[in-house]
A and B are shown apart, each in its own frame.
Chain A
Amino acid sequence: MINIYVPRDTASLSMGADEVAAAIAKLPEDINIIRNGTWGMTYLEPLVEVETNQGRVAYGPVTVSDVQSLYDSGFLSGGDHALCQGLTSEIEYLKNQDRLTFARCGLTDPLSISDYKKNDGFVGLSKALKLSGNDIVDEVTTSGLRGRGGAAFPTGIKWNTVLATEGAQKYICCNADEGDSGTFSDRILMECDPFCLIEGMTIAGIAVGATKGYIYLRSEYPLCKENLNEAIKIARSEKYLGDDIQGSGKSFDIEVRIGAGSYVCGEETAMLESLEGKRGMVRAKPPLPAHVGLFGKPTVINNVISLASVPIILAKGGEYYKNFGIGRSRGTIAFQITGNIKQGGLIEKAFGVTLNELVNDYGGGTYSGKPIKTAQVGGPLGAYLATDDFNLPLDYEAYSEKGLVLGHGGIVVFDETANMSDQAKFAFEFCAIESCGKCTPCRIGSTRGVELLDNLGAEGNMALTQELCDLMDTSSLCAMGGMTPIPVKSALKHWPQDFEKS
């Protein structure tokens, strides 16, 4: 019997992975098709792998019409073919990454708990079950892990606050409302290694004394919902969730809640409102959610990647994790390269790598083949970088010093044809559409911003745009309105000629 891996994540499925799997299944051979997760090389999807004595041999991107020729070339025994990428583990794009959090993505069947256990799964949890809350929090603090949702707040400090706060009930909320344009690392993690998130949340729960976790999942991720719910069911039946986890006497359970399509619900307090069944509007802080969070109870709110990084930190120790990265940015971050790029995908690297390496070495330049004009880093509220800045080390502090943000690691590449006043206007438009409407600068300011940029060349418009940016920056209630000026100002600064009346 031949084991063949055909991924079943949203990107592969959108490229016809199901059809390819069906075509392969029809081949007159004894074939066992395993639906694994993606390795994150989206430019190669669907990436079909054949298990051989040498290892898994990769072919991609495969379409249904390629199956017969692959068969004819003997791909079932690793035969050569135009689509052959060689051994998966030797693909440069993958080989040079620092796969800590995403170690199992692509490797395993996402819903096979035995696969998960075979590949270091639940090692972290087993350790955590033997530790005190303080010890677990210490380990996370030592690792230097910071929030991967974008705010980069030290996870250990956040957990410690919740641990130290009295509360008959505490909660772990996983923010899986991944709404930044050009990002998909949460989705890949949840689709391809859901047990990892479950394990991370369970460790968090045990650490701070929370017994209930919620995953706030954006509605646009139906496959995540399916896989998470299935994995939660399996974990419960295997006593990794529920009462008395693995005989430890400790309890934790998880529920998946689906958002209603609002970007601002990715802001942690708006997410809490939404989880409580209310309109997704930002709460003023203080009080911090760590003190007064979900249903008024002390709550840890972490992004998917932050929580999914915890199992390996517990398994291998905080020191191990900390040894990756530079400065105060420790460990790895999952970059996602999209836009006008030849080889888009997910790249997990230790902090310190440069944008040049990511977009040129990994990404292979633009898809159009034209020179790169800019890349927007950190989602729709991130700055457009001039290519001069492409050699900055990707590190929270180095970026912050220049008014740039790493955010959730999304990188959207543009070639020279991009018009930056359109991009600046897009920032205002995005804010106008997604603003919750609570605070004045964001609600009215974003709309006025669009109108100002619709009227390029009018007397005083640019000065007023600058002033509006300053106002939104200083007076908005949350980062939505507060950061909208970042892309606008970066565009104005580097490409003023794009704002002249055409």
Chain B
Amino acid sequence: MTLIIEKDYGTPEKKSDKSIDLNIDGKSVTVPEGTSIMRAARTIDTEIPSLCASDCMESYGSCRLCLVEVDGVRGTPASCTTPVAQDMQVKTTSDRLTKIRRGIMELYISDHPDEDSPLNDMAQLLGLKENRYGKQGHNHLKSVIDDSNPYFSFDASKCILCARCVRACEEVQGTFALTVDGRGFDSKISAGTDQSFLESDCVSCGACVQACPTESLFEKRVVDVGKPDHSVITTCAYCGVGCGFKAEMKDQEVVRMMPWKDGQANHGHSCVKGRFSWEYAIHEDRILNPMIRDNITDPWKEVSWDEAIEFSASRLKAIQKEHGIKSIGGITSSRCTNEEVFVVQKLIRAAFQNNNVDTCARVCHSPTGYGLRETLGTSAGTQTFDSVMETDVIVVIGANPTDAHPVFASLMKRRLREGAKLIVIDPRKTELVKSPHIKANHHLPLLPGTNVAMINALAHVVMTEGLMDQDYIDERCDTEAFNTWRDFVVDPINSPEKVEQYTGVDAAEVRASARLYATSGNGAIYYGLGVTEHSQGSTMVIGMANLAMATGNIGAMGGGVNPLRGQNNVQGSCDMGSFPNELPGYRPVVDDVARGAFEKDWGVELDSVPGYQIPHMFDAAVAGKYKAMYVQGEDVAQSDPNTHHVEAALGALDCLIVQDLFLNETARFAHVFLPGTSFLEKDGTFTNAERRISRVRPVMDAVTGMDEWEVSCRIGRAMGADMSYDHPSEIMDEIARLTPTFKNVSFDRLDELGSIQWPCTDEAPDGTPIMHVDGFVRGKGNFIVTEYVPTTERSTRKFPLILTTGRILSQYNVGAQTRRTKNNVWHDKDILDIHPHDAENRGIIDGDKVLIQSRMGETVLEARISENMQPGVIYTTFHMPESGANIVTTDNSDWATNCPEYKVTAVEVRQTNHKSDWQEEFDGFSSSTRHIAE
């Protein structure tokens, strides 16, 4: 294995129908019109020296090393900024050019330290013999290194002012945190307004570090560990964007994660989490040995794998014997690979012999699966990420991509800077509403819980003002369903003026937004958990699909209804049959044909009755009917709503098996702990939000001594099921064999194509970037009436504020990973955001401790006054276990899928000076249940 060095063509690829032929150093080359001379030369491996050029950003023309000679052209044009012309004759080397290049390099070296550096290497390569200016003149050699960022440093003494960092921050990331300050010789790279990197707006995405040609910006880890010697291509294990990375290794040690240019989801970009925050995988908190205990009050006892598996299997069997087949079940993880998830659901269906399997998608995107399947026919987003580059008007609903899906947000921002219009529907002023070079055309700050009223109002405007695409509807949608829906939405009860009483949003803004979406060309809807985590989550998903169909925005590049998936493999875990009513590929367990195929392949009889969803598991546990659970890579005790109820359920179990990297909150109630593997040890696949299946490749051996899929299989075998595989690729082969949409997927094909977007069938052997192109998967597009039914959770005199929750860039979900990285410098506690008006009324000032009370419970957080909030709505994140955000959330849920209504909780807040009772107990209980025997 070698270190992968990606080719840099110097300037971005240009697309043109017109080809240009030219001649470079006697070699002919044909490139699209608009291509730079530099790029043309590099396509035929003619290397022109350069420092300021990179194909990730527009040409800049600052270093002047790439000058060339062109017949008939006076002077020496820069090859990076000069476009090719027909029959151009270019010379890239000559005595004159050599003299210029050495002259430039001599100037650089006159202000550059004498040490091993890429610039000194290049000077040598260019044949620079001496520096006649000396180094005694004005220089930057004594610049102070900015070490403030936890992951990288900036050493201005090596900086050549090529501004690649600044341009990467602008063009690639879209944050505009960096600038060139001062002018002439005193020019310097400045983060923010002469702040340190940490104090500035820098989001630590790493684009600048990656772009720097002189190692003036450098990863601290490269200094600590040394230079990498080989790379492994793999996939990030954070959000649903699924970025491709090169794990750059030195022996078995990861030096750094570098975004992979050929990664189709990220095209060489990254965010702070994927790029830097992977060190949790080698954190000392990781549990490396299996552990068991009889009671949760006992200390943990480390045991061998054999003993742990035998202990688990015999306990589960005993419970089934005493309480019945259906008294046990499990939860699959959206963090794990498709192969790992598949074997867990197989374990439950084939070995437990019931359908008590659910997944954490229950609490995030289950309404997406339901709503999109009912309307369009497929439980997945319709587009490939790159589709946004052809979108004319982007609608973002209940999503905060700059924090939660940063790499896709950068792509979206790039399109917005190109002039696409933007409508943001969100209770909060998110970054997309207004940030450097981004300003939403409309922000509709609706009251949490009123999404459906809003989507109906938008549809009302489209239908009553004749803005729909009737030809599209006639051709592709079910007429009867459409007519029923149309009659419903045109009813004046759905007009913007009427629904204003619920949403609180100015009707004129709603009308203008509807017109903009319907009439501006390609319209695309992107949404997140602000849509799904409501009592009408599924209704809202249906409402968005209705609107997109009515305006003809599904089935082509630039359009679509696109869920922004929260976890790396939440799409995959759903695809893999993690729901109690669905086998892999979303086929109902009640369907005899589908079930029959699995029974035949697995050689067992399967239960035809759907099993428990997660909330039902908890209810049944509290009721004493459900006695054992196998929980893979999910921390339900922290992540699921109404913590008191969840803890009561977990505490009532006779056997809780937790498979995870860390002793998480759920593990406090566990009897068996099976140490899991991090993504750096896994061999398998993840499926991202655009249905893209990518390979996850192990860069090191499993530090636990056993692969996670093998652990599940062994328990299955110990319980009598035939679950044997020699390699995870065989699991994928089984998935492909049993799942029509995965028919042609295999590890070999993935290695060949890089990644594959399902469906991958005989008709689409290379996968399907855009769904529903020639018609909807379900046949005719199905319009469904979406009546607005207000949630029962509403503000009252006692609980006058609405609490809503979300995520922040530097932390990830329950924080199990990111809390164990240096990311805590940006966010070490959850904060409650409150509008100045609400704060003033309660005498709350910035930094006060405040008690948040709902009808479910109470917790204490620090308050921050924020005008990003609207009066009456407060907000917090839920990354820290001790915050207890889910102590206050309710057990309301989506009517169709039981996805919890996290986004709406009626609360009151007041100043306090101590922790809540739960928080006090949490501290004690937390340590007492984590004790490991010596």
Contact = CB atoms under 8 A, between A and B. Distances in A.
Contacts of B184: 431-437, 442-443, 446-447
B253 to A, nearest CB: 38
A284 B78 contact: yes
Contacts of A438: 60-62, 161, 163
Nearest to B65: A440
Given A286-B83, A451-B138, A437 B104 contact: no
A436 B64 contact: no
A413 interface: no
Interface in B73-115: 75-76, 78, 80-83, 96, 100, 103-104, 107-108, 110-111
Nearest to B160: A440
A441 B81 contact: no
A262 interface: yes
A471 B62 contact: no
Contacts of A286: 81-83
A231 B111 CA distance: 50
B63 interface: yes
A435 B104 contact: no
B133 interface: yes
B107 A440 contact: yes
A31 to B, nearest CB: 50
B182 interface: yes
Tell me which of B61, B62, B81, B182 has the highest count of chain A C-beta atoms within 10 A of its own C-beta: B62
B183 interface: yes
A475 B187 contact: no
B138 A447 contact: yes
Interface in B229-287: none
B132 A439 contact: no
A25 interface: no
Given A284-B81, A286-B83, A436-B184, A448 B110 contact: yes
B77 to A, nearest CB: 10
Contact of B180 (A437, A452, A474): A437
Contacts of B96: 474
A444 interface: yes
A469 to B, nearest CB: 11
Given A448-B137, A451-B137, A477 B183 contact: no
A467 B185 contact: no
B898 interface: no
12 contacts: A284-B60, A285-B81, A432-B185, A437-B161, A438-B161, A440-B62, A446-B185, A448-B110, A474-B76, A475-B67, A475-B104, A477-B78
A460 B132 CA distance: 9
Interface in B603-650: none
B180 A447 contact: no
Contact of A471 (B75, B83, B103, B186): B103
Contacts of A439: 61-64
Contacts of B104: 440-441, 471, 475
Contact of B75 (A279, A444, A474): A474
A351 to B, nearest CB: 24
A477 B180 CA distance: 17
Nearest to B101: A475
B179 interface: yes
Interface in A389-448: 431-448
A131 interface: no
Interface in B168-196: 179-180, 182-187
Interface string B41-83: 0000000000000000001111110010000000110101111
A189 interface: no
B133 A262 contact: no
B185 A444 contact: yes
A467 B67 CA distance: 17
A262 B182 CA distance: 11
A477 B61 contact: yes
A281 interface: yes
Interface string B468-487: 00000000000000000000
Contacts of B160: 440
Contact of A440 (B59, B76, B83, B108): B108
A279 B179 contact: yes
A440 B60 CA distance: 12
A284 B63 CA distance: 12
A376 B138 CA distance: 29
A272 B111 CA distance: 31
Given A279-B179, A279-B180, A284-B81, A445 B60 contact: no
Contacts of B110: 444, 448
The list of the 8 closest CB pairs from A to B, nearest first, reads A437-B187, A284-B61, A284-B81, A435-B184, A471-B103, A444-B107, A447-B185, A475-B64
Q: Which of under 10, 10 to 19, 20 to 34, or 35 or more describes the interface residues of B?
A: 35 or more
A164 interface: no
Contacts of B103: 441, 467-468, 471, 475
A407 B563 CA distance: 60
A468 B83 CA distance: 28
A341 B182 CA distance: 36
A446 B137 CA distance: 12
A475 B100 contact: yes
Contacts of B183: 262, 264, 434-437
Interface string A320-338: 0000000000000000000
Nearest to A476: B64
Contacts of B182: 437
Contacts of A432: 184-185
Interface string A298-335: 00000000000000000000000000000000000000
Given A284-B81, A286-B83, A464-B132, A471 B100 contact: yes
Contacts of B133: 448, 451-452, 464
Interface string A474-491: 111100000000000000
Contact of B64 (A431, A435, A440): A440
A448 B107 contact: yes
Contacts of A474: 67, 75-76, 96, 100
A76 to B, nearest CB: 53
Contacts of B75: 474
Nearest to A280: B183
Contacts of A468: 103
Interface string A279-299: 101001110000000000000
B438 to A, nearest CB: 15
Contacts of A281: 180
Nearest to A263: B183
A448 B80 CA distance: 26
Contacts of B186: 437
A474 B108 CA distance: 17
Tell me which of A432, A433, A438, A451 has the highest count of chain B C-beta atoms within 10 A of its own C-beta: A438
A475 B76 contact: yes
Given A443-B187, A444-B111, A471-B103, A477 B62 contact: yes
A101 to B, nearest CB: 31
A443 B185 contact: yes
Contacts of A447: 137-138, 184-185
A260 to B, nearest CB: 11
A90 B63 CA distance: 57
A20 B782 CA distance: 86
A336 B97 CA distance: 40
Tell me which of B78, B111, B185 has the highest count of chain A C-beta atoms within 10 A of its own C-beta: B185
A377 B146 CA distance: 46
Interface string B678-715: 00000000000000000000000000000000000000
Contacts of B137: 447-448, 451
A157 B63 CA distance: 31
A445 B187 CA distance: 14
A307 B451 CA distance: 56
A63 B235 CA distance: 82
A114 to B, nearest CB: 44
A442 to B, nearest CB: 8
B92 to A, nearest CB: 15
A303 to B, nearest CB: 23
